[in-house]
Amino acid sequence: MKHRNYNQTSRQSGKPVSKTATKRAARKTAGAAKGKATARKSVVKPTSKATWKLASKQAAKVARKQAAKQEPKAATAAPAVRKVQPAPPVPPNPLRPHVGPHYIDPLDYPTHPYPSMKRFAEHLALGATMPRTRHSYYRHLRLIQEHFNADPAKLTENQFRGYVLHVKTKKQWEPQTIRQTAACGKLFFVDMLGHDDWTVFSQIHAKDHEKLPGVLTREEVRRLLGHVRLRRYRIPLKLIYCCGLRISECLGLTIHDIDGAGGKLWIRNGKCGKDRMVPIAAVMVKDLRRYWAYHRHPLLLFPCAGRGHDTPENVAARMSVATGPMPVGSLQRLLVEARKQLNLPQATPHTLRHSFATHLAEAGASIHTIKALLGHKNINTTMIYMHLTHRSEQDSRALVEQLCAELPR
């Protein structure tokens, strides 16, 4: 580096610079140049592979030391690969998982449009036991309030009658929804407000349309289950068909609900909060045991897989510590795609339940047995499967042929 001459002049003032000031500036310039060279040397990329490895090891060592200083000494790093270990002990009476949407209790609403609606929420809490029922009834009362934009407690019988006519003829509501509106109105106007003289509720009639549910043949069921590649989806679908379960009943099962030795499957807190027992095949029990040995969750049979890398080890590790069961929408969306690819007319998780009941009726099972296995409250609900069986059609045709053959010609 070339140093400045002592005879230089200042750029600002134009006066000659002293010898001492020139030396001081020269030392300062040399120090700055040395610092830049050191900085460039520190960030130079290594050229050889060995230098790269050494630099990586040193960087990892420094990172571990910094992490050890920040974290408490008692903490230990999680293992990179999950090892299969015995399942941790489970409390004798574990809480059952919740499957499906969470319905907020009307009592927990922060505000109510009118005091009468808050009183109705308290009335529902005293009577109706299921959160879904309380949520549905309060929703219908809120629709009435929004339709009239007034306090429901001040409505007359003619106004309520006009509202039911409006939703039935103009909005074309389903019969079941109209019956729920009538039930909500009866609870509010008769049971809570004491309008015993209202006769509109005896005039409301809404009968369901007799629609036959979609049913798959046995060959279509085999094709559908064989098309599902992932085991965490195929096993619950297979269990729904083999035991005739609802999707919420299937995904809410725990390891305490299976009696493998007795061939029994206990359905806890099913529809309307009822419990029931259904038989389960030994082959299905083996499939469930093999599947549980894969994730080893301490409580759930079908835990949520979560999001992340889809390697079997990572999926099993996430399932073993899951806080809830598999979402209902996962199976529903999967069957929608499988139905399109297989060109099936209809395929939902509930279609497998309908197929189970229909195939049992075709095999000769009594209608009361099917009613008990499905958990129906009314036998008329189960009678619809008798219209779907091929055996009943064949038997009726054979009987007609026999009656006609015995008649004189």
Q: Is the dihedral of CA 70, 75, 78, 79 positive or negative?
A: positive
Q: Confirm whether 294 is a catalytic residue.
A: no
* Region label for 40, one of left (φ > 0), alpha (ψ between -120 and 50) or beta (otherwise): alpha
Q: Confirm whether 385 is a catalytic residue.
A: yes
Q: Quick check: 138 and 106 in contact, CB under 8 A?
A: yes
Q: Confirm whether 205 is a catalytic residue.
A: no
The end-to-end CA distance of the chain, in Å, is 131
Q: Confirm whether 114 is a catalytic residue.
A: no
Which token pair is 86? 């015995």
Which token pair is 25? 């500036």
Rounded Cα–Cα distance for residues 246 and 269 (Å): 12
Candidate list 168, 271, 276, 296, residue with the active-site label: 271
Candidate list 142, 246, 295, 371, residue with the active-site label: 246
* Region label for 318, one of left (φ > 0), alpha (ψ between -120 and 50) or beta (otherwise): alpha
Rounded Cα–Cα distance for residues 22 and 6 (Å): 6
Q: Confirm whether 142 is a catalytic residue.
A: no
Q: Return the H-helix or E-strand segment holding 265.
A: strand 264-267
Candidate list 295, 353, 354, 371, residue with the active-site label: 353
Rounded Cα–Cα distance for residues 401 and 407 (Å): 10
Q: Confirm whether 353 is a catalytic residue.
A: yes
Q: Report, as residue numbers or ranges, the catalytic residues.
A: 246, 271, 350, 353, 376, 385
